[in-house]
Amino acid sequence: MTTVLVVNSGSSSLKYQLLDHAEQVVASGLVERIGGAGRITHRGPGGEVIVDADVPDHRAALALMLATCTSSGADLAPDVVGHRVVHGGARFSAPVVVDDAVEAAVEELAALAPLHNPPGLLGIRAARATFPGVPQVAVFDTAFHATIPPEAATYAIDAGLAADRGIRRYGFHGTSHEYVSQEAARFLGHAGRFVVLHLGNGASACAVSGGRSVATSMGLTPLKGLVMGTRGGDLDPGAVLHLLRSGMTVDEVDTLLNRRSGLAGLTGSGDLRDVLAAAGGGDAQAELALDVYAHRVRGYVGAYLAHLGGLDALVFTAGVGENSPEVRARVVGGLGHLGLAVDPARNGAGERVARLVSPDDGPVPVLVVPTNEELQIARHALTAVAPG
Ligand code: ADP
C-alpha cells in the first residue's frame, strides 16, 4: 500500500493532501499565516478540524499537520512526498527525486521566479527534515511545456543574451494542462488537437497535440498571456520601459504588474464573480473588463487553432473555466465561425465532472474538465520513485 503526501507550499501558506493507493483523498488541509499566529484547517476521516497555533515557519506547519492528523485519528506516514514547484527552468523537463543538488538547482531558479520558487523550496526543506528517509519528488509547473518547439519558445531578442540569462518561454500551469488534456482525451476516446483554457486566479491557454504541449500563453514568467485576477497578461514591453523612465521604481512596477493589473486593475476586484455582478448591474468598466478578458482568450484560441492545423476540442478548466457558464458563453459566443458553440442547458449545468457543453451537432466539442493538480502531482511522485 502506497500513500502519497502532496505539498503545495506558498510563502505564508501550505496546502496538503494525502492520497491512498486507490488515489482516494484520505486527508487534506491548509495551514495559513505561516510566520506568526497561524491556523490549520484539516479534513480527515473524523471530519473537519480547525486549530489556531503559533506557526513560525514551514517546518512548524508540517509539525502542526502531523499533530492534527494524529489527534484526529489518521495515520500520516507517507511513502513518498510530491511537491509543487513552479519553475523548473530549462534543467527540469520531468519530475525529479529531490537530493541536495536538485534543492540547490531549485534555489538557483529562484532568480527566474523570485515570487514562486522560494516558497516551494521552503516546503521541500521542511518535508525533508520532517520525513527523513521518505523520497521527496519535485513536480514542476513548467515541465509539461518542455515539448514546445523552438519557434514557439524563442523570444526574438539578442540570442546570446537570451541563452546566457535563460530568457525564453517556459510556460506554467503545466500540471493542470497535462491532467486536463489527459482527462479530455479519456472523455473523447482520443488524444487529438486540444486547446485547454485554465482560467483561475492565474490563467493560461495551452495548445496540446497528441498529449504534448506545443504552445502556451505564459512565458518566462507567469505574467504573460491572458487577463488574470491581478495580472494583465500581454503588455507591450515598451509600457514597462515608459513607466520606469517616468519615475516608477522596479518594485512599484513589479507590484503594478503582479497585483494591480488584470481584472483588479480594470475594476478594483480580481474576483470574476464581482466583475460579473457589477457588469450585470450596468457598470460599463466591468463590462469592458469582461470584453477584454474574452477578447484575449479568443485571440489565443484562434492562434492555437492556426498552430495546431485544426481543433478537436476546446476545454475549460479551473475556478472560472469550471464554474462560470457566462464566461464560457462569452468566449465561445464569438467563435461560431470556427465551429465552436455552447448548448445553453449543458453549459448551465454544474456537476463537477468532465462534461460536454457544446450541442451534439457542434463540429468541435467544447468540454468542461475539472482540474486536479494534486492528483497529477501524486501520480508523478509515484512514477518518479517507481519508474516503469
Ligand atoms: P487559483 O488560480 O488560485 O488556483 P482557482 O482556479 O481556484 O484559482 O480560481 C479562483 C477564481 O475562480 C476566483 O477568483 C473566482 O474569480 C473564480 N470563480 C470561482 N467560482 C466562480 C463562479 N461561479 N463564477 C465566476 N468565477 C468564479
We report the CATH number of the domain holding residue 345 as 3.30.420.40
The pLDDT tens digits for 252-294 are 999 999 999 999 999 999 999 999 999 999 999 999 999 999 9
The verdict on 212 and 318 lying in the same domain is yes
Of 105, 140, 175, at which residue does a domain stop? 140
pTM of the model: 0.95
The whole-number pLDDT of residue 116 equals 85
The predicted-structure confidence for 335-355, as pLDDT tens digits, reads as follows 999 999 999 999 998 788 999
Ligand 1 contact, 201 CB (< 6 A): yes
3-state DSSP assignment of residue 9: strand
The reply to whether 238 and 95 lie within a common domain is no
Residue indicated by cell numbers 499533530 = 67
DSSP states of 127-183 as a string? HHHHSTTS-EEEEETTGGGGGS-HHHH--SS-HHHHHHHT-S---S-HHHHHHHHHH
Q: What three-state secondary structure class fits 50?
A: strand
Residue 378 in any domain: the answer is no
Regarding whether 232 and 93 lie in a shared domain, the answer is: no
Same domain flag for 122 and 219: no
- Residue 55 C-alpha to ligand 1 middle, in angstroms? 28
For residues 72 and 199, state if they share a domain.
no
pLDDT at position 207: 98
- Same-domain pairing of 89 and 213: no
User: Are residues 231 and 101 part of one domain?
Assistant: no
Mind listing the pLDDT tens digit for each residue in 117-130? 999 999 999 999 99
| Ligand 1 proximity of 227 Cβ (cutoff 6 Å) | no
Q: What are the strands of the beta sheet with 47-55, ordered from one edge?
A: 47-55, 36-44, 25-32, 14-19, 4-9, 80-85, 136-140, 96-97
Residue nearest to atom 19 of ligand 1 (CA): 319
Number of residues that make up the chain: 388
pLDDT of residue 156: 98
Q: In the chain, how many domains are there?
A: 2
- The model's pLDDT over 41-58, given as tens digits with 9 standing for 90+, comes to 999 888 999 999 999 999
pLDDT band at residue 1, thresholds of 50, 70 and 90? low
Domain boundary among 117, 140, 163: 140
Instruction: Tell me the C-alpha distance between 266 and 200, whole Å.
Output: 17
- Of 52, 54, 57, 141, catalytic: 141
Domain carrying residue 67: 4-140
What CA dihedral angle connects 74, 78, 84 and 87, to 10 degrees? 160
Do 326 and 233 lie in one domain? The reply is yes
| Residue 233 within any structural domain of the chain | yes
> Is 141 noted as a catalytic residue in this protein?
yes
269 lines ligand 1 (CB under 6 A): no
- In angstroms, what is the span from residue 273 Cα to ligand 1's centroid? 8
Alpha-carbon distance 183 to 191, whole Å?
10
- Could you tell me whether strands 193-199 and 36-44 are parallel, antiparallel, or unpaired per DSSP bridges? unpaired
Same-domain status, 201 and 113: no
d(CA 172, CA 6): 18
The ligand 1 atom at the shortest distance from the C-alpha of residue 371 is 6
Identify the domain boundary among 140, 170, 201: 140
281 and 207 within one domain: yes
pLDDT of residue 172: 96
For residue 387, the model assigns a pLDDT of 61
Whether 174 is covered by a domain: the verdict is: no
Give a yes or no: residue 70 inside a domain. yes
Q: Report the 10 Å Cβ neighbour count for 120.
A: 28
Residue 183 in any domain: the answer is no
Residues 125 and 245 in one domain: no
Residue with cell 448548448: 343
Output the CA torsion 342→343→349→354 (10° steps): -60
279 lines ligand 1 (CB under 6 A): no
Q: How many CB atoms lie within 10 A of CB 142?
A: 28
What sign for the dihedral angle of Cα 386, 131, 81, 105?
Answer: negative
Q: Is 113 in the same domain as 223?
A: no
Q: Is 168 part of any domain? A: no
Ligand 1 pocket residue status of 315, Cβ below 6 Å: no
Write the single-letter amino acid at 1: M
